[in-house]
Every structure is written in structure tokens, then in C-alpha cells.
Amino acid sequence: MNVNQQPHMASPYGPSQPGYQGYPQAPHGGQHMAGGYPGQYPPYNGPTSAYQPGAPVPGPMCAPPTSGAPPISAPQAYGQYGGGQALNGPPPSAAPTQRPPVSQPYTPAPMNLSTPQSSYSQPFAGPPTSMQQMTNQMAGMQVGPAPPAGTAPGYAMPPNSQPPVSGTYTSTASHPSFPPTSIASPHPAAGDGVPPGPPQSYYGGPPHAQQPFPTSSAPPPAFSTASATPPAAAAPAPAVSQASQAFPGGPPHAQPQPPPQQQQQLPPFSAAGPTPPQQTPFSSGAPQAAPHPASQHLYGGPPPPQGAPQQQQQAGFPRPSPPTSQPSSSTTAAATTNSGFPGGPPQSSHPYPGVTMPQQQHSPFHSAPQLSGPLPPPPAAGGFPPQGSAPGMQGPPLQHPSMSGPPMSQANHVAPGSTQPGMPPPMGPATGGMPGPPTQPGMQGYPPQQNGAFGQMRAPQPGYPGPYPGQHPGQHPGQQNFGAPPQAPASAPPAQKRLDPDSIPSPIQVIEDDRVNKSTEPFTTGVRGQAPPLVTTNFQVKDQGNASPRFVRCTAYNVPCTSDMAKQSQVPLAAIIKPLATLPPDETPPYIVDHGESGPIRCNRCKAYMCPYMQFIEGGRRFQCGFCSCVTEVPPNYFQHLDHTGKRVDCYDRPELSMGSYEFLATVDYCKNNKLPQPPAFIFLIDVSYNAVRSGMVGIVCQELKTLLDYLPRENPDVPSAVRVGFVTYNKVLHFYNVKASLAQPQMMVVSDVADMFVPLLDGFLVNVNESRVVIESLLDQIPEMFADTRETETVFGPVIQAGLEALKAADCAGKLFVFHTSLPIAEAPGKLKNREDKKQVGTDKEKALFQPQVSFYSNLAKECVAQGCCVDLFLFPNQYVDVATLGVVPTSTGGSIYKYTYFQAQSDQERFLHDLRRDVQKPMGFDAVMRVRTSTGIRATDFFGSFYMSNTTDVELAGLDCDKTITVEFRHDDKLSEDTGALMQCAVLYTSCCGQRRLRVHNMAVNCCAQLADLYRNCETDTIINFFAKYAYRSMLNSPTKNVRDILVNQCAQILACYRKNCASPSSAGQLILPECMKLLPVYLNCVLKSDVLHPAADTSLDDRAYLRQLLSCMDASESHVFFYPRLLPLHKMDTESDALPLAIRNSEERLSKGGLYLLETGLNLFLWVGASAQQELLQNVFGTTAFGQIDPNMTCLPELDNPFSKKLRDIISAFRDQRSRYMKLMVVKQDDKLELIFKHFLVEDKNNSGGASYVDFLCHMHKEIRQLLS
């Protein structure tokens, strides 16, 4: 971050707004700028001033920021994100500009590519789009610190945004951007008009800014268009909107709004068109050139630039704000990339309101485009505060310097956390100061400055390590940085403030941007290499030849052509496959294809199934396999003529030729023993030992089963389910029940020979529910009575599963066991366990053994279960250690699930358990499944993660496969791939449906192959990567000490990011943290993984919990793992009861909680309702029916049903959340300062946690340090 930030800072600052403006101008200047980009800096310097004017333009750009004005509305809309998204258009431009801005745009622009620029240019070229520059974040960070100045705020905001824009955009979209920029020239014009504004702003500061905004607003469009070019439509549109919005809000909102906008915008930018837009900003950046100067100034001496910068900045600010808004994204990016840093510091120092500026810058910087998103917000928030520091700013020039110092320092600090952050902040400030001018100038100048900054940063960074651990480092660095700039002192304090969390990439922003951008149109799968919307986005899918992302998600949609590239990038190539995923009602489930008695048509050699990748040749008489290229005859009954394009005439009549997912009816050849399968059976095995009875579990299960049995899975709702059921209870011995319909009363058969399990009866154990209803009900009534007085506390476990297995064997069918178990099986029997929980081993090298099964018995048993198609679901109700690691072996090897209800109490946990049970019983599933993943030549599936068993290296065997189970497959190269053909993957799952039909479900997926790393980084999915990493890490725990696992993770991510930095990002100071757009959340998510209870247990985390979560994660898809690692936190008090929309989520940090608020936190496993100590009475009344905080019962598990819209909506939300997840989430009411709050705080994952988990900011700094080490 820092790094980027610094650079960005420079650019951002300078560039950021100025940049934008500058860019535009520059561009204007042109294209000069472009050419000059490199030169830009120099030019910038010059331009700076000029640019500043230009900046104004950016201002317009900022206009979007202005949206700030709209912000209010817009911002809201955006939500945090919202704005951004809406702005998307613009922001993008901004963003793009940001990145590309400096570097690429410039480069391309060629104009001044002067040295600094050159460097930028490079970055741009590479990173631009994809890159989200941390810088932005940094910038944001800075912003935070910056100038809080009240006035500044507004300005600040803009500036930031602008700067970012310039920076970011430049980088990514850069070239295009530039052009836009050039186009932007108009902006300049506007800017010109604006410029005045800016200057004014500088002078007048805020006011000007406002003015600029307006102007900028005008420009924005231009930008947008310009930038738009790349992003094109999307960008433009948004841009406009943004612009408009921005404008409206612009001035007034300036500060507040801008940030939002910026953020929002930025995100958008980052997303798609961003780059281009960014470019625009950059273009504005051109003007930035001017900034550069500024930056240079900065470098040279902050003071001089300051003046100019200030003006520029101010101008920028004003404009920035506008620009910010639009450019915001771009700006951010730009800011980040470029001057962000350079400018940043200086500018910031400048005072700029710079503070604000910085913010803007930051945002820009951060994600060129996207980053901007995050950054912007930060700017707004943090930025301003920083601005406070900005005061220094007041003394515009000098102050700026000082500011910059501080900002920088802050940035640095932050950065430290992430150097970038630090940088950004500086940027922010710089930008603030720098804004217009600095930005670009900054950019150019930045290099130097940045360097300096970086240097400083670095200094801090060194500290980072330390900081990492603690905030101190951050501060120190900051101090140091500041120190560097003597001026800093003043600012120092602020600077010392940590990296502003608002300036670093915000998941909320990204999610919101994606939601706004992508949820409106259906996602069509026909386009190869296109990344789907995020898992958090609601979207519709149209299957046009590739499997829906609901079935298959890949980490990268552009696979490197060679293994060298893959190794270099370290980006894992993996697919998360959820073969039986349930689709929303508006999407068609896979069609069923029947190829008749001869079975599905397949390639002769590789046995791939008929799919859209099969190429028909020779008039349709043969087809060539897309996977192995082998040519196979088309069976006569399948022959069809080809049309003039070589497609079969019936292509669209046959799902297997036109769809990504479909099912074949399997023939008897695909059945075990060549015998059509029997309908599956469900067997319920209930622990009836003392604990089970006392906790109420037995009664609840029996009661529930009476009704639940009517809802066994079936395909045709009109026909009773074919699934048969059986019942077993057990403690130390097993009790089987004969519930044959002809019996007057059930018969219980006790098997006490647990050493050698067998099934005592054949007929009457597995029965049809409807036929035996009376007997079954009588049995279920009696079970709780029979064992009501039991004193047996010992249980067995191994024999229980054996019993179920034997029963299925005897009935010759597949099926599922539902085991309800309470305690460690210590009774004498196979699979007897010892209590091996030993807290002393936690954290040592011996820890890993605790996650391995303590006896091999269960592994062998699992193997047998899989062979029979016996899936085991385990419901645990432990009061103490039960050794989940061992008990879970069978469920996790058979495709089953584990549910754990620690300290189960009927009253409070009943609902949760019953929901889980109902869902588990009812959910659609397949039995006795085998999954095979085939790939085209060049790559192959090498590793698999999930709940299954593998007896060889290719076949994934699942005794049961339900709609929630996910299998993650890792691919590796074994040859070169061709860019033309792309890489193909076909996942075929052979299974028995719940009505006993044998089927084959086929999912096809084609991805692009790329020879450029940049393409890889541009089309990857962070959620999926994190999912993969987590699974990988959780499995590695079995073999390596946890600490090593964490280190490996950090290291791999650092390599990924460093590779990007090295190969794709525009060259910039090493102190700058540059993140790819698609991966800008990687650090924050990774930190969440590292901090998860499994990898980093808190003192009170039991071994069982860790083992449980470990196994839980192994089957999660990306959306579940996303919320698992980064919980969703909704501020309920901001909820609008009129609309259906959810309140905009906020980031998981305690700082964001307001005492007067009410928040809902969703972790995927739990729901927390956090009540602030001074929450409004009305709010409490609405929700709890009481006005007194003290009267809220912290033990309640469901909210009272009150007749008011707020309560209704809240309950609706809660129930909607629950429906969304495969497991029922228990609601816990957490009152502020209550003891329960500790648990709640554990899920505020951006904060440092009690067990030593790093805060997001600290981790970012650490990551930055790692990256720097790799780069150097």
C-alpha cells in the first residue's frame, strides 16, 4: 500500500485531482501529456499549475464527486458503494485514469513521459485496469488523516477523488484514458474554467472546490466519455450520472459526499470501465502534469509546490471533489499510481485540504478505479480527520508540506500498516494540497517525491514489521516519515495517526459496486474468460455454453498459457464446483438428456461427454473432442447435418450441444454391479444416553421426525418419496427397530455385540413411511419414554455407523445416515476414543496431530461407507470435548455434513437444530456419486478439496452429494495452452437421484488462456481464491504447524501481488503498494483467513470448534466462505422501512459502530444483533418492545413479533438471511458492554483481535513489506 500510495500519493495528490484535471489537461496538452507522461511529471510540474486549471476540469470530473452533493442522495444510493457504483461510469474513468493515469496514460500519451512518467506509464500499461492501487487506499488513508479541516473536507474530498482519478486511471486504462484525457482536454477547458475555481479553492479552499465541482461536473461527463471509451458505455453512463450527481451534491456535499462518491465511484471504476474513466481522470492527470511539477515541487520542496500545488490542489480539491466523484475511482487509482504518493505527501503537506485531497487521492490511488472506491470513502471519513492534521494545510504551502509530512507519515503509517496507506494519506494531503497540480505534477514530481516518500515510507516500513504487530510501528513510520519532512512535526501528530482505515480497499465498497453494476443484467455464460459477478451480488444467469457460476467458479478466467507464468504469478488455478447447486426459481435447472440405450455419447479416447466443445466434422459424421482432439464417429441415431457455420442444425435443440450444464440419463452400464439402483434409504441413529435425554435432544428429534418424514426428498411433489427410513437408538449398545407395517407395535432389537456389528433384522427395518406410519409414530412416541430414566452415560460411535452401513448393505441400496450424537465414545467398542484435548499443544508442532484422527478405524470405515454409498451426517450435541477431528472423518469422507450444537439446550437451540435438520433431510441430493473432472490437454486436475473420498487420483467418490456441497479442484499445467482454444474443463458427476434414477450431471467450463499476466490479474476472483487458499491452508494444518501454514499463505499472496506489481503495474516507487483491481481485497480477506479460529485460535477456542470449522469450510462455496471470513454488518438504524432494500453494510470494525445504533452481523453461522448503549428509545421500542436498554433480554433467540414496519422488516431480513444459508443462524442479542460483546467483537475482522490477530491496516502494511521484500 504504502508503496503505491506513495507513488500514488504523488500522482494522486498531484494527479489525483490535479492529475485528473491535469490529465485532462495534460492530455490536452496533450497528449503531450501522454507522451510526456513520463515527462508528465516534469510537464506536470508545469502543467501542474496549468493543470491545476485542468484540475478544475477534473473538478468537473470531481463533479461526480460533486455527486457528493448528490452524494447525499447519490452517496446514499451508492451507499458507501452506491455512490461509487452509480458513478461507476465516471469513477471508473477516474479510476482508470488513476492507474493508467500516470503511467500508462502518460506513457502512451508519450508526451511527457519524462522519467517519472515513464515509470508511470509502465505501470499504467500493465496494471491500469486490473490494478487497484493500494495507493488509492493509501491515499484514502492519507485523506483520512489529512485535513480534517472542516473546509478541507469538502475539498479534500474532491481532491482526493480527483487525485485518485488521475493516478489510478492513468495507470490502468491509461492509454485510453489518456485519450480521454486528451479528450478531457475539454475538461481542461472546463478545468480552465474550473481552474479558477480550484485556485480559488486553494485560496478560498473549499468554496473553490465547490465551484470547481460544478465546473468539474461539466467536465466529468467529458471525462466519463473519455474514460468511458474503454469501459465504454457503462462508464459513460455512470459517469454522467455521477457527474450530475456529483455536481449537485458537489459543492455542498463536497466533503462528505465526495468521499462517498469517490468511493463509490471509484469502485465502479475499478470494476469495469473504470480504467477508461480513470484515464480520463488521468487525462485530467495530464493536467496533472502540472501537478507533477507540483509534486516536484513537493519534492524539491514542498513549499514551492505547495503554493502551486495548493492552488492546484485546491483547485484540484474543488475540482477534485468533483473529479473525485467521477474520477473518484479513476482519481483514486490515478492518485495511487502516480503522484499519489509523491504528490501525496507534499500535497498533503500542502495542506491541502489536501487532507481532503489526500482522501481523494487515496481513493484514486488505491484502486485505480476500484480502489478509488474504497479509498474514496476513506478519504471522506478518515481523510477528513486527517485533514484535521491538514490544518497544517492551512498554511497552505508550508502546511502542505507539513501536512504532507504528516499525511505522508500518516500515509506511511498507514502505509506502514501498509506503506501505501501511508502514501496515500500523504497523497491525500498532497492531493489535497496537490490536488490538481500536485497530482500530475505530483505524479511526475512524485516519483522523486514518492521516492522520498517511499524512502520515508520505507523507513516506516521497516518499522512496519514492528508496526505490523502493533500500531506503533505505523505511527513511528509515520513519524519518521514525517520526520523526514521536518514539516511533518506539525502534521506529524495527525500523521502518526494510523493509516486511515477508510483509505484502504473496502470490501463493502467493492461488493456494493459489483452489486450495482452487475445485478441488473443477466450474466450470460457464453463469453469465454469473463469473470462472473461477485458472490454477493444477486444476478441472473443465462446458460449459453458454460456452466453457471452457481455451479462452477474459477479463481481465474484467464489461465496462463504456460506453467512458468502460472508459477510466476502464484495465482492458484482452481475451480469451485457445486455440482448439485440449487438454482433460483427463475433459472431453469439442467435439462435431462436421454441418449437411449447406448448411453451418453462420449469421446472414444478421453471419455469426455458430448458437450458444446465437440467439433463436428465431415458433414457431421464425426466429431472431434475438444479435450483430447480425438475424432470419434457419430452414432447413426445421433447424426445430424451441419449448417454453413459447421454447427449441427439441431444444436439449439439439444442441451448437450448448447448448454454448459445438463444431465444425461445413465444406462445400466453406469450402475454398480450393472444393476439398476434401489431407491435410497435414510437411517436415523439417535444417541439415547443420559446427556442426550437430559438435554432434550432425544425428545426433540423424535417429535420432529414425526412430521419431517412427510418431507423426504422427492422429485415429483405429487408422488410420495421413494426414500425408505429406518431407526436406531444407541448408547453403549444399539437398538434397532422393526417398524414393519404389519406389526401391532414396534419391535426393538438390542445389539450389544458392538465389537462385531451386524444388522439384526432385514424385513421391517427400512420401511416406507406411508405404509408404516402408525408403527413409526408409536415408536417415536415411545423412544423418549423408554429412555427417560436412563443412567447410561457411555456411548459408542464406530459401531453406530457400522450398523447403518450394514443395514444399507443388507438392503442393497445407497442412503444417508443421520447420527445424533452427544459425547466422546469411550465405551469399549471399535472406534473407542480417548480424550486428547490438550491446550498445551496448541500452537506447537504437535498441534497438527490433534486435527488428525486419533485412530485409523474411522478412515477404514469411511472407505467402506463410500463403497456402499452410505453418506453420514453427524449432529453433535457435546458438553465437552468429543474429538470432532476423529468423529468427523466419516462424514467428511462420505460427502456428509457435521452440525455441532455445543451445550445444547432444548429451549434456546431447538429452533436452530430443527431448521438444520429439516433442511438436511429435505434437501435435494444424489447418492453413490462419482465425480470426474476432465480437462483439455495442457492442464489437469491435480488436487481436490471437500468432503469425499478418493481411491485413485482422478475419481472423486461421494457417498452422498447434496446441493450445498462444494468440491474445489486445483489445476496444474502439464503442457502449454493455446490462446486460441482456451482451456476446457468438464466435470461429470454420476449419481443416483433420490428416486433411484442413475444420472450424469455434466458441467462444462471454458476459460481463456493468456500470454500476458495482466490478463490473468484482470480476470480473477478474489472470493474464489480466498476460498481455495482457506481450504488449502486448512488441509495443510494436518501436516504442518499452523504457523508455517500461515506463513505460506502470506508468502503466496505476497508473491501474487508482487508479481503483479512487477509485471503488470506501472513502474513506481517501491514504496507504493499496488494491488490488482480484482485482488484489491485479497489482503483483507487473507487477513481474515489468517485470523480465523482455525488458523489462529483464541485462548478460549476449543479444539473441537477448530476441527469443526475446518471441516465446515472444506465444503463451502465462495459465497459461504466469503461471509464466513468477512461477516456482513448492517446498520439497522439506517434501515429504510419503506423500501425493500437492505441498509448498506458497513465495514467490520468497531470504530464504525455507533453507540446509538443497532447492527446486525451475519457470519454465516450466527447472527448477532448489536445494540448500542444509547440506542434511541424508539428504535428499541420498535425492535424489542421496550424502551429501556437494560430491559433487553440478552438471552433471547428470536425477536418479539411487534406490529411495526421496522420490526417486521428486521425480522424479514433475518429470515431472509437464514434462508440464504445452508445452516440456520442463531440470533444472539449483544448489548454494548455486555460480556457477550467479546464474541461479537471477534467477528469485527478488520480490527485487531484479542488473540493477536492483526488489524486490516496492520496486515496491509505487513503485506506491503513482504511484497517489497520480494521485489527487492
Strands (E), 740-889: 747-751, 815-821, 870-876
From 581, 733, 1210, 1254, residue interacting with other proteins (rule: CB under 8 A): 733
Show Cβ contacts of residue 1153 under 8 Å, excluding neighbours closer than 6 positions.
1159, 1170, 1172
Q: With binding defined as CB under 8 A, does residue 812 bind other proteins?
A: no
For other proteins, the closer of residues 645 and 742 by Cβ is 742
Based on the shown chain and the rule CB under 8 A, indicate whether residue 842 belongs to the binding site for other proteins.
Answer: no
The alpha-helical segments, DSSP class H, found in 998-1102 are: 1013-1018, 1022-1036, 1042-1063, 1082-1091
Q: Which three cell numbers stand for residue 803?
A: 450398523
Yes or no: say if 213 and 321 are a contact pair by the CB < 8 Å rule. Answer: yes
Taking the complex as a whole, the smallest distance from the CB of residue 775 to other proteins amounts, in Å, to 10
For residue 641, give the DSSP letter: -
The phi, psi pair for 941, rounded to 5°, reads -75, 125
- Compute the least distance from the CB of residue 787 to other proteins, in Å: 12
Residues binding other proteins: what is the number (CB under 8 A)?
Answer: 25
d(CA 514, CA 87): 12
Minimum Å distance from CB 784 to other proteins? 12
Stretch that binds other proteins, among 177-185, 568-576, 686-694, 759-767 (CB under 8 A): 759-767
Closest to other proteins by CB, 748 vs 1038, is 748
CB of 977 to other proteins, least distance (A): 56
Based on the shown chain and the rule CB under 8 A, indicate whether residue 736 belongs to the binding site for other proteins.
yes
Identified binder of other proteins from the candidate list 592, 617, 676, 743, rule CB under 8 A: 743
Contact of 213 with 319, CB cutoff 8 Å: yes
In terms of DSSP bridges, do strands 615-617 and 622-624 run parallel, antiparallel, or are they unpaired?
antiparallel
Q: How far is the CB of 778 from other proteins (least distance, A)?
A: 7
Q: Assign residue 674 a region (left: φ > 0; alpha: ψ between -120 and 50; beta: otherwise).
A: left
Quote the cell numbers at residue 783. 423412544
Torsion angle of the four alpha carbons 496, 502, 505, 506, in this order, in degrees rounded to the nearest 10: 150
> CA 1238, 1240, 1246: angle at the middle one, nearest 5?
100
User: Are 284 and 23 contacting, i.e. CB atoms less than 8 angstroms apart?
Assistant: yes
Q: DSSP alpha helices (H): ranges in 582-685?
A: 655-658
By beta-carbon proximity to other proteins, the closer residue of 744 and 1099 is 744
Asked if residues 1075 and 1082 have their Cβ atoms less than 8 Å apart, the reply is yes
| Cα dihedral 784, 785, 787, 791 sign | positive
Q: Are strands 955-962 and 925-935 parallel, antiparallel or unpaired?
A: antiparallel
**Span from 530-538, 752-760, 874-882, 1119-1127 in contact with other proteins (CB under 8 A):** 752-760
In three-state secondary structure terms, 1044 is helix
SS3 278: helix
Nearer to other proteins, 377 or 746 (CB): 746
Residues 259-278 that bind other proteins (CB under 8 A): none
Identify which of residues 811 and 862 has a Cβ nearer to other proteins in the complex: 811
Q: Does 763 bind other proteins (CB under 8 A)?
A: yes
Q: How far apart are CA 56 and CA 22, in angstroms?
A: 8
Part in contact with other proteins (CB under 8 A); list of ranges 77-85, 320-328, 729-737, 1164-1172: 729-737
Give the shortest CB-528-to-other proteins separation in angstroms.
56
Of the candidate residues 19, 252, 746, 830, the single one contacting other proteins (CB under 8 A): 746
Query: Which cell goes with 472?
Result: 506503533
Inter-residue contact 1268 to 1070 (CB < 8 Å): yes
Look up residue 953 and give its three cell numbers.
Answer: 487420483
> Of these, 308, 511, 751, 1014, which contacts other proteins (CB under 8 A)?
751
**Among residues 564, 756, 845, 1219, the one that binds other proteins under rule CB under 8 A:** 756
Between 779 and 988, name the residue whose CB sits nearer to other proteins: 779
Which lies closer to other proteins via its Cβ, residue 756 or residue 975? 756
- Could you tell me which stretch among 661-669, 712-720, 761-769, 1221-1229 binds other proteins (CB under 8 A)? 761-769
Binding residue (CB under 8 A) for other proteins from 606, 630, 749, 842:
749
Q: Could you give the CA distance from residue 167 to residue 427 in angstroms, rounded to a whole number?
A: 10
Binders in 1097-1136 for other proteins, by CB under 8 A: none
> Measured between alpha carbons, how far is 357 from 461 in angstroms, rounded to an integer?
23
Please, what is the minimum distance in Å from the beta carbon of residue 746 to other proteins?
5
Based on the shown chain and the rule CB under 8 A, indicate whether residue 748 belongs to the binding site for other proteins: yes
CA distance 444 to 434: 12
Residue 761 as a binder of other proteins (CB under 8 A): the answer is yes
Site for other proteins, residues 682 to 711, rule: CB under 8 A: none
Q: Select from 259-267, 474-482, 551-559, 731-739 the region that touches other proteins (CB under 8 A).
A: 731-739
DSSP SS3 for 701: helix
Q: What is the DSSP letter of 678?
A: P
- Residues 1010 to 1069: which contact other proteins by CB under 8 A? none
Choose the stretch contacting other proteins; rule: CB under 8 A; options: 279-287, 474-482, 617-625, 757-765: 757-765
Please pick, from the candidates 744, 907, 1099, 1201, the single residue that binds other proteins as defined by CB under 8 A: 744
Told to check if 1174 binds other proteins by CB under 8 A, we report no
Interaction of residue 753 with other proteins, rule CB under 8 A: yes
CB of 740 to other proteins, least distance (A): 9
Tell me which of 720, 760, 996, 1041 binds other proteins, using CB under 8 A. 760
Select 232 or 743, whichever has its Cβ closest to other proteins: 743
Q: Quick check: 1219 binds other proteins (CB under 8 A)?
A: no
Nearer to other proteins, 633 or 753 (CB): 753
CA 509 to chain centre: 11
What 8-state DSSP symbol labels residue 16? I
One-letter amino acid for residue 383 of the chain: G
3-class SS at 1145? coil
Q: How far is the CB of 998 from other proteins (least distance, A)?
A: 25
Beta bridge mates, 941: 971
Site for other proteins in 781-800 (CB under 8 A): 782, 786
Binding site for other proteins (CB under 8 A): 733, 735-736, 743-753, 756, 758, 760-764, 778-779, 782, 786
